Structures are given as structure tokens and as C-alpha cells.
């Protein structure tokens, strides 16, 4: 068997059709990757959900009830102080929301938070079938306290005297 060798001093370059094929494959992969990133990061509530008013007034009792739910269902990912630094946060594909971010939280309505808690979005599960409607609204009331300044929320744990806002300021 004989092999074909290019002539001395000449380098064989890929043809234009090969380069074009590689370029087209690159564009397809880049587009698919961009769509995946967008799909995983875009989490917008529908307009109807954003306009939904919170039927549960934020009282000390409803905030305390929301805190209990939060500690049981949300703290592992969103953190004891709502800053997105829970014990499981590093293991997730998407960083949990930071409820202490005043700007981000003020941009979301109660209805939008309620919808996100209800529907979920990978890796966050849906709580529509796990929590009653009232419990989800109580959770919204408690989550709001993380971005409302010192003293707005009850202590996050029985052994801690720091409020979420004070803990966020310390971090």
C-alpha cells in the first residue's frame, strides 16, 4: 500500500466547504447553548400573576408562619438570612435568589413571588401542591422582610437573635 504525500513545501489547507461546514456547526452549537442559558435563567411571571394582590396582610403572625415554612422548605438553598447562601446553594446549577437585594426585590411584585413559589423553576421545585395557597402567601410576606431593613423580621432561628437584615449587613 502506498501513501500519498503532499508535494514538498506545500501545506494542505481545508477546503472552503469544510471551513463553512465547521462554521455552520459552531453557529448551531452556540445558538443552542444560548437558548439553553436563556431558558434556564429567564423566569418571568405572566402579567396576570404580576398583578395579583397579596390577600394575606403582613402581620407578625403571618410573618412568623411564613418564617416557619421558610426554615423548613427554603433555608437549605436560600440561606438562613435569605442571601442565597444556603448549605445546598453551591450544589445547584443556578444560584438561589438573594432576598436581601433591595433593588431586585423591589422590582418584583408579591404576585410574581407567589407565582414563582407556586410554579418553581429548575432547580427550585414547585410548591403549588406542597403548600396551601395561604402558606405560599405567608411565605411571600416573610421573604419580603429580608429586604426591609433591620428589625423587620423575627429572628430566623430560636438560637439566633440576629434579624435577616442585620445578618445581611454583617456579610
**Residue 166 belongs to domain with CATH number:** 1.10.760.10
Please report whether residue 26 resides in a domain. Answer: no
Instruction: Check pLDDT > 60 for residue 42.
Output: yes
More confident residue, 59 or 40: 59
Q: What is the pLDDT of residues 75-103, one digit of tens each?
A: 999 999 999 999 999 999 889 999 999 99
Query: Over 53-95, what HEC string results?
Result: CCCCCCCHHHHHHHHHHHHHHCHHHHCCCCCCCCCCHHHCCCC
Domain count, the chain: 1
DSSP 131: S
Instruction: Check pLDDT > 70 for residue 3.
Output: no
Please report whether residue 62 resides in a domain. Answer: yes
Print the domain residue range for 155: 47-170
Establish whether the linkage from the previous residue to 146 is cis, with ω within 30° of 0. no
Please report whether residue 83 resides in a domain. Answer: yes
Please report whether residue 95 resides in a domain. Answer: yes
Please report whether residue 141 resides in a domain. Answer: yes
Give the span between the Cα atoms of 31 and 85, in whole angstroms: 31
Please report whether residue 31 resides in a domain. Answer: no
Please report whether residue 35 resides in a domain. Answer: no
Please report whether residue 155 resides in a domain. Answer: yes
Amino acid at each position: 500500500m502506498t501513501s500519498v504525500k503532499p508535494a514538498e513545501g506545500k501545506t494542505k489547507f481545508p477546503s472552503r466547504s469544510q471551513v463553512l461546514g465547521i462554521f455552520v456547526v459552531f453557529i448551531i452549537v452556540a445558538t443552542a447553548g444560548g437558548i439553553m442559558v436563556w431558558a434556564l435563567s429567564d423566569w418571568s411571571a405572566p402579567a396576570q400573576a404580576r398583578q395579583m394582590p397579596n390577600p394575606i396582610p403582613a402581620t407578625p403572625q403571618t410573618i412568623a408562619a411564613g418564617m416557619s415554612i421558610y426554615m423548613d422548605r427554603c433555608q437549605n438553598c436560600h440561606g438562613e438570612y435569605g442571601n442565597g447562601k444556603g448549605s445546598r446553594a453551591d450544589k445547584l446549577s443556578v444560584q438561589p435568589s438573594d432576598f436581601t437585594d433591595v433593588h431586585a426585590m423591589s422590582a418584583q411584585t408579591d404576585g410574581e413571588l407567589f407565582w414563582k413559589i407556586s410554579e418553581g423553576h429548575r432547580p427550585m421545585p414547585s410548591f403549588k401542591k406542597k403548600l396551601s395557597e395561604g402558606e405560599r402567601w405567608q411565605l411571600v410576606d416573610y421573604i419580603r422582610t429580608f429586604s426591609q431593613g433591620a428589625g423587620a423580621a423575627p429572628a430566623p432561628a430560636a438560637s439566633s437573635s440576629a434579624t435577616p437584615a442585620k445578618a445581611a449587613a454583617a456579610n
